[in-house]
Amino acid sequence: MFTENKKQFLNDFGRKLKFTLPEGTVIDKGQDKEDLLGIFDKTYTDATLGYLATKNSKPRLTCIEEDVASVVKGSTVEIEGISTKYKVFDTSDDGTGFAIIELSK
């Protein structure tokens, strides 16, 4: 079985992360004991219905699944280079060994 180094996908665009779980535990290192990295994405969506229009953003992180296995809804995250402190809204496995973490303010 071939095992790919998932960290190589985060090296170019990944930002350092620091999660604080609801009970106060801090997670800032991955399974490899190196800085916890994730790719921050803030896609914008807009919808128009007649003359009503809305704009929305969906901030999220893509991380290595085993690095964030204990992150739960309600955890907070500090993202390198981003001044906003986000809360975890939801987490899901993407089926490739990465986790998608949906964020809210």
Q: What is the pLDDT of residue 88?
A: 98
- For the stretch 7-54, pLDDT in tens is 888 988 999 999 999 999 999 999 889 999 999 998 877 778 788 888
Distance CA 12, CA 20 (A): 24
What are the backbone dihedrals phi and psi of residue 69, each rounded to the nearest 5 degrees, phi first?
-60, -30
Boundaries of every domain in the chain: 12-104
What average pLDDT does range 87-100 have in this prediction? 94
Tell me, what's the pLDDT at 2?
55
Q: Report the top-level CATH class of 12-104.
A: mainly beta
